Amino acid sequence: MYISANQHGCMLRACDYIVACDDKPRAQFLGRDGQMVTLKSFAVPVISPRPSMADYLTPKPPHNNSGVVAAWAAWVMGCAPILLAGMDCYRGACYWHAPKAQSTGQHLQLSNHLVKWRTLAAKHPQAMFRSMGVPLSDVFPAYDPEEPVILTPLEEIEIDAHKAKVVRAWRRFRPGQVVELTKAELKDGLRSRTIVQL
């Protein structure tokens, strides 16, 4: 399975999913030669905590960073090993396809980036996150194709989700649907009396 953090991986090869956490208007991102692209233009399902761009809405992810959430989503979907490629924490050009682009990530210290990855590693020590290079080699073991694969039993994959039943049409849900919501969505739905918690 190939998962792209935002559009970046999709510009290299066909991907199975895109994970996008950025708060971009109309889900537009910087493409080749500085042109704006929409994630939908790649015809790949989008996993996101943002309902405006999600085909699959995530329960509360471990961080609001598309790369970290892409790794976490791979783990939730049962992948092992999870090879972390292209995660250079802005140590080189901004993006491989737009080196002169600007991002707030370029202004953060490396330690600020790595703390997000260390949080993921600490929360899910049983996951087989494997580094494909620096700087994530400071956080995760390097990928070794000879290493035996260890899958995380499904019952050990816990995500912050709450079951509810929809009683009135709300967001993307129909009455009668049983859904899993983040804590914030649950609170919003209960306040508007469009759902009941199960």
Report residue 196 as tokens: 């009941």
Contacts of 92 (CB under 8 A, 6+ apart): none
Examine the domain organization and report whether 101 and 174 are in the same domain. Answer: no
Contacts of 159 (CB under 8 A, 6+ apart): 59, 60, 76
pLDDT digits (tens, 9 = 90+) for 47-77: 988 877 888 888 767 678 999 999 999 998 9
Instruction: Report yes or no: 20 and 60 within 8 Å, Cβ to Cβ.
Output: no
Mean pLDDT, range 115-127, rounded to an integer: 92
Please report the pLDDT score of residue 164 as a whole number: 87
pLDDT at 25 over 60: no
> Is 87 exposed, middle or buried, given 0-12, 13-18 or 19+ CB atoms closer than 10 A?
buried
Examine the domain organization and report whether 90 and 107 are in the same domain. Answer: yes
Please report the pLDDT score of residue 4 as a whole number: 96
pLDDT at 162 over 70: yes
Report residue 104 as tokens: 């707030």
Please report the pLDDT score of residue 71 as a whole number: 96
| Averaged pLDDT score across all residues of the chain | 86
Mean pLDDT, range 147-169, rounded to an integer: 80
Please report the pLDDT score of residue 186 as a whole number: 81
**186 or 59: whose pLDDT is higher?**
186
d(CA 174, CA 164): 12
d(CA 18, CA 47): 6
Strand partners, 166: 195
Biggest CA-to-CA distance, the chain? 53
Please report the pLDDT score of residue 95 as a whole number: 83
User: Cα 44–26–174 angle (5° rounding)?
Assistant: 70
| Nearest residue to 84 (alpha-carbon basis) of 15, 137, 46 | 137
Examine the domain organization and report whether 60 and 89 are in the same domain. Answer: yes
Examine the domain organization and report whether 40 and 88 are in the same domain. Answer: yes
Domain that holds residue 131: 3-154
Examine the domain organization and report whether 57 and 81 are in the same domain. Answer: yes
d(CA 14, CA 34): 21
pLDDT level of residue 14 (50, 70, 90 thresholds): very high
pLDDT at 179 over 60: yes
Examine the domain organization and report whether 63 and 114 are in the same domain. Answer: yes
pLDDT level of residue 189 (50, 70, 90 thresholds): confident
Report the number of distinct structural domains present in the chain. 2
Examine the domain organization and report whether 121 and 182 are in the same domain. Answer: no
Examine the domain organization and report whether 37 and 128 are in the same domain. Answer: yes
Examine the domain organization and report whether 142 and 179 are in the same domain. Answer: no
Please report the pLDDT score of residue 159 as a whole number: 64
Percent of the chain with pLDDT over 70: 90
Strand partners, 98: 95
Mean pLDDT, range 78-95, rounded to an integer: 90
Examine the domain organization and report whether 142 and 190 are in the same domain. Answer: no
d(CA 164, CA 51): 17
Examine the domain organization and report whether 150 and 174 are in the same domain. Answer: no
The structure's pTM equals 0.76
Examine the domain organization and report whether 58 and 27 are in the same domain. Answer: yes
Please report the pLDDT score of residue 158 as a whole number: 62
pLDDT level of residue 16 (50, 70, 90 thresholds): very high
